[in-house]
Amino acid sequence: KEWRKDKFLQKLEALLIVMNNENALVISGQGDVIEPDDNIATIGSGGSYALSAARAMSKHAKELTAKQIVEESLNIAADIDIYTNHNLSIIEIED
């Protein structure tokens, strides 16, 4: 809580996605917690493209795993957004 009073850190404009097997949350630099409606969360310049692709794939391609949806969504975003590239690091945590 102390960082909220700090002159420089209180204006931090960062986003962080945290998730487990059941929930996905987006945490803003000001400490706001946002819960996406469909448990799909994206951030960054290509986030809206990746979100659209992920929603479409999760709705119409039930056979895809979460990792496959993430990878393909990021690649689609990289194809469209000039500030997003194809250098992906996807970390999958096993139960």
The pLDDT tens digits for 69-94 are 999 999 999 999 999 999 999 988 88
Rounded mean pLDDT of 12-34?
Answer: 88
The number of domains in the chain is 2
Identify the residue whose tokens are 């799909």: 40
Q: Are residues 33 and 49 in the same domain?
A: no
Q: Are residues 82 and 47 in the same domain?
A: yes
Q: Find the domain containing 68 and state its range.
A: 42-86
Record the pTM. Answer: 0.81
Q: Are residues 17 and 49 in the same domain?
A: no
Token digits of residue 82? 């000039």
Residue 4's pLDDT is: 66
Residue 67 lies in a domain: yes
Residue 92 lies in a domain: no
Comparing 8 with 86, which gets the higher pLDDT? 86
d(CA 31, CA 64): 33
Rounded mean pLDDT of 37-54?
Answer: 95
